[in-house]
Every structure is written in C-alpha cells, then in structure tokens.
Amino acid sequence: MDKLIITGGVSLDGEIRISGAKNAALPILMGALLSDSAVRVGNVPHLHDITTTLELLGRMGVTITVDERSGVVIDPSTLTDTEAAYDLVKTMRASILVLGPLLAKFGTADVSLPGGCAIGSRPVDLHLRGLEQMGAKIKVENGYIRATSGNGLKGAHLMMDQVTVTGTENLMMAATLAKGRTIIENAAREPEVVDLANYLNSMGAEITGMGTSKIIINGVESLGGTQYDILPDRIETGTYLVAAAMTRGKVKLKDTDANQLESVLLKLKEAGADIAVGNDWITLDMHGKRPKAVNIRTAPYPAFPTDMQAQFTALNSVAEGSATIAETVFENRFMHVQEMQRMGADLQIQGNTVLSNGEGRLTAAPVMATDLRASASLVLAALVADGATVVERIYHIDRGYECIEEKLQQLGAKIRRVPSSA
C-alpha cells in the first residue's frame, strides 16, 4: 500500500490535462453489455475503479481489448456468465450498474448486494423497485440480488422518490431494451447521466429528456456497436481548481468542460478567484490572494455536488472568514473533518453542517481517509500545511484520480508517492 508525502507551501502554477470522467466511464463500460457487437470507448481514465469494472466484465466472459490511447474495446457477444461476485462488488459499489443491462439483455442477473459504505448507508432499493415495476422478479438470497425478467422487461412509468444517479442510470439502461415506453420522473440530471444517454443513443437507443428530471425511453429490439469518447471529469477539474485557489496559485486546466461545473465555478469566484473559460479549458488565478470562505449546501445537479464538499471544506479551513457547509446527499460524509482538525483546522460539525472559522494555518500531520473525495481533500490540505504531511490509504485516491502526484508535480507541488513500509 502506498502513501503520499506532501510538503506544503508552494503556490500551484502551470497547466495540466483533465482525464475522462470516472462516474461516466463506469456506467458506459457496463452499458456495453446491452450491445450485440463490440463497442469502443475512448478517453477512459486509468483508474483502479476502471480496472475493477474490466475485471467484472472479464469474469462474465466478455472480451476486452485495451489500446494505448485510453481506449477500450468491449465485445459482450462472448458472455458466458451473468454474475457480479461479492469480492468485486464489495470493492466497488458501482458494480450494481451491471444489474439493469444484464436483466434487459440476458433476462437474468445475480449481483452481490452492496453493503454499507464509509459515506452513508447507500441503499439500492430504488434501483430494485424500478426494475420490479418493469416486470422483473427480484429476491435477495445469500447476500445476492437474484433477478429474472421472464419474457423480458416492460416499459413503465417510474417515479423516483429520491434523486439517484446510478439508480437513474440502471433503470435507463434496462429500459432501452424493454418493450414499450419507460418514463423516469424525478430523474438525476447529472452530466454523467446525459453522457450515458448519448452513448446509448449512439448504439441505437431512443432516449430523450436526459439532463431534465423527466427521461423518456422508447424500448428498441437491439443495440449495436459504437465508438464513444467519455466526457471530461468535472470533479477532477473542480479538485485541481480548489487546489490552486487554496495555494493562492494560478492554473490552466485543458480538455475539460466549464459548462458542467457552473455551481463550483460560481463558488470559486465568490472565494475571490479570477476565472476564465474557453471551449475546452478553464483558468484560475488568485493573484496571490488568500481565498474567502464560502457557504455551501450540497444537492443533486445542477446544485453544488457532494463530490466537491470535502475539497471546499479544506478550502474554508484556510480561507478568510467564517462559513458553513451543509451536506444533504449523504449522511456521513464528514470523515475528513476529524483529520483536518488533527492538522489544526478550526472546524466544527453540527448535525449535517460543518462550520469553519478562518484559522488560516494548518500544520503537517499523518492523516488518512476512508473515501475517495475525503482523501483528495487531505491532499489539498497538505498542499498548504506547514511541514511534510503523510497521507495514508491512498488507494482511495487511485480509485478516482488519474496520476494525481504527477499532475500536482506538473503544477509545482512537492509531492511524492512511497510504499507504506518506507
């Protein structure tokens, strides 16, 4: 297991490229199960969660070829098994995204039920209820979701009690091959849902309304091969922008899309950042100034993303003034706060809100986190802390940030990866 050693105090300065979006790549790769022939997916990030996804598909007998230009060719026609086993699902909850495609295409799926999670209880009841409304028979047995669809799924009018990203994606994928029309009300509007819908349409699906809260899917007989490039990662983009703002630096991020992160850019401007955007780039310049603390309330897209909450908590801990951050999506997503307190941050948790008091000074400490975005926020805190911070358990970071230390080094940060025993 590796750890990162980061010596704080450098203002970030430079240019980096943003990778393809993890949370679009996962459903898109799993959505290949719906196709009759091979699909090629481009701009796939090199991440641990992608390796897990390819292993999951590989174990089903799917043929996978990875090319050197971040492309993956997936041929599901060789599939021999419709199981997603516990040992993989327990390392990546998003494995649940094979359920909809397997059921729609092959009429049967055995998917290990994801258990608890470091950021909240994260049930999948809405995925299951929607599939049942489409005619699936589902039982949970020996820790597995055992689902069959008899003569095939049927279109249905679905009302999601809560906005769920992977729930919307699972049901949308299932509906592409169902008989008749499916309407998903209160659907997630995240850019990753839109990217998945565009990809499925490029395979021959008939989906409209993506990006709104009402998605309409007309079922088709079959889906076929396509070539599709994954959209840029808005959370990776946001993370590097916050890193630059916290260190009073100046960065240019290329191959990204400013339209997907309006709420984050507005908060960075409120924090005092000078931001400019182009077709596929964003620049941020703090002109050497300390950021101002910003109030935040997380909520589904287009509101402020929960996946950027930990990074802004790090920013507020060194910013000028007091502010509050309310987390409304997950009930236990403040694990980074205790670690930042160990670095001297003046933060207090009150219910679902974290209050920051503009202490402005962090000091190095050994820290670790139990989820991806929390781990990333500790790296950001370390970039401004006095001394050398050791961030342990960075396998969480490797699940979602491609080459984080190389990218930060390119921006001038003093960061290195060493084996944990060192």
The CA dihedral of 140, 141, 144, 146, to the nearest 10 degrees, is -60
- Cβ contact 162:188 at 8 Å: no
Please name the residues in contact with 226: beta carbons below 8 A apart, sequence gap of 6 or more.
35, 39, 40, 199, 202, 203
Binders of ligand EPU in range 76-95 (CB under 6 A)? 94
Examine residue 16 and tell whether it contacts ligand EPU (CB under 6 A): no
What is the set of active-site residues?
Answer: 117
Is 170 a binding residue for ligand EPU by CB under 6 A? The answer is no
What is the closest distance, in whole angstroms, from the C-beta atom of residue 282 to ligand EPU in the complex? 20
Q: What is the largest CA-CA distance in the chain?
A: 64
Minimum gap (Å) between residue 129 Cβ and ligand EPU: 8
Under rule CB under 6 A, residue 239 binds ligand EPU: no
Q: Which stretch binds ligand EPU (CB under 6 A): 2-10, 119-127, 149-157, 382-390?
A: 119-127
- Decide if residue 378 touches ligand EPU (CB under 6 A): no
Task: List the alpha helices (DSSP H) in 19-164.
Answer: 22-31, 48-59, 86-89, 99-106, 125-133
Identity of the residue, 247 or 309, whose beta carbon is nearer to ligand EPU in the bound complex: 309
For ligand EPU (CB under 6 A), the number of binding residues is: 25
Closest CA to 31 of 109, 131, 99: 99
The least distance separating ligand EPU from the CB of residue 317, rounded to whole angstroms, comes to 20
Out of 329, 340, 380, 415, the only residue in the binding site for ligand EPU (CB under 6 A) is: 329
| 132 binds ligand EPU, rule: CB under 6 A | no
> How far, in Å, CA of 37 to CA of 39, rounded?
7
Q: Are 246 and 320 in contact (CB under 8 A)?
A: no
42 in contact with ligand EPU (CB under 6 A): no
Q: C-beta of 267: minimal distance to ligand EPU in Å? A: 16
Please give the angle made by the CA atoms of 293, 294 and 296, to the nearest 5 degrees.
145
- Residue 308: which residues within 8 A CB-CB, separation 6 or more? 235, 238, 239, 242, 264, 298, 373
User: Does residue 166 interact with ligand EPU by CB under 6 A?
Assistant: yes
Please report how close the Cβ of residue 9 comes to ligand EPU at its closest, in angstroms.
Answer: 28
Over its C-alpha atoms, the chain yields an Rg (Å, rounded) of: 21
330 near ligand EPU, rule: CB under 6 A: yes
From the list 126, 175, 261, 340, which residue makes contact with ligand EPU (rule: CB under 6 A)? 126
Find the shortest distance in angstroms from Cβ 22 to ligand EPU.
6
CA 329 to chain centre: 14
Per rule CB under 6 A, is residue 212 in the interface with ligand EPU? Answer: no
Distance CA 41, CA 153 (A): 27
Q: What are the residues binding ligand EPU (CB under 6 A)?
A: 23, 26, 94, 120-127, 162, 164-167, 192, 305-307, 329-330, 372-373, 400
